[in-house]
Structures are given as structure tokens and as C-alpha cells.
Amino acid sequence: MPNGFGLATLLGLIFGFLWGIGCSLAVMYSIYLGGYRKAIKESVANPPPSRYVKALEKVQSKRAKKAAHEMQAAGAPDVKSLR
């Protein structure tokens, strides 16, 4: 005698899991797009918000430190030693 309950349970779990994953991905994507839109608006605002300016300065500082470290590792002379 076939057991219909087991098949229904298995299909319910599979479809329920896929539905849950799909919904969570949709929510995460909408949150991502909302943040992306906000970042674009802040980057073209005139004058830019103070939070944007601080974040930009932080990124530029990290890039400058990384570039200086890479140049020093490549054997370039240190700027302080040239004075």
C-alpha cells in the first residue's frame, strides 16, 4: 500500500524550503538596492553629506597607506630618507 503522506511531506518540505529561500533572497536584494540607491544619491549630492565625506576620506587614506606599503615592499626608497 503506497504511503501518500510521506510523498506529500517530502514535497511540502522541498517547496517550502525553496519558497523560503526565494523570499529571503528577494528581501535581501531589495535591501541591497535600497542601500545602493541611497549611496548614489549621497555621492552626487551638492554639498555631500558629512557622513559621505568622512567615509571617502577613510577609503582614500587606506588606499594611500596600501600604495605606500606596496611601493616600499617593491624596493622604492622611503620618502623620509630622501630628505
Q: For residues 43 and 10, what is the distance between their CA atoms, to the nearest angstrom?
A: 49
DSSP letter at 45 equals: -
Query: Mind listing the pLDDT tens digit for each residue in 55-65?
Result: 999 999 999 99
Query: Mind listing the pLDDT tens digit for each residue in 21-80?
Result: 888 999 888 888 888 888 888 888 888 888 888 999 999 999 999 998 888 888 766 656
**What is the model's pLDDT at position 51?**
87
Contact present, 57 and 65 (Cβ < 8 Å): no
**What is the model's pLDDT at position 40?**
83
End-to-end CA distance of the chain: 92
Q: Phi and psi dihedrals of 78, rounded to 5?
A: -70, 140
Q: For residues 49 and 47, what is the distance between their CA atoms, to the nearest angstrom?
A: 6
**What is the model's pLDDT at position 64?**
94
Across the range 11-20, mean pLDDT stands at 86
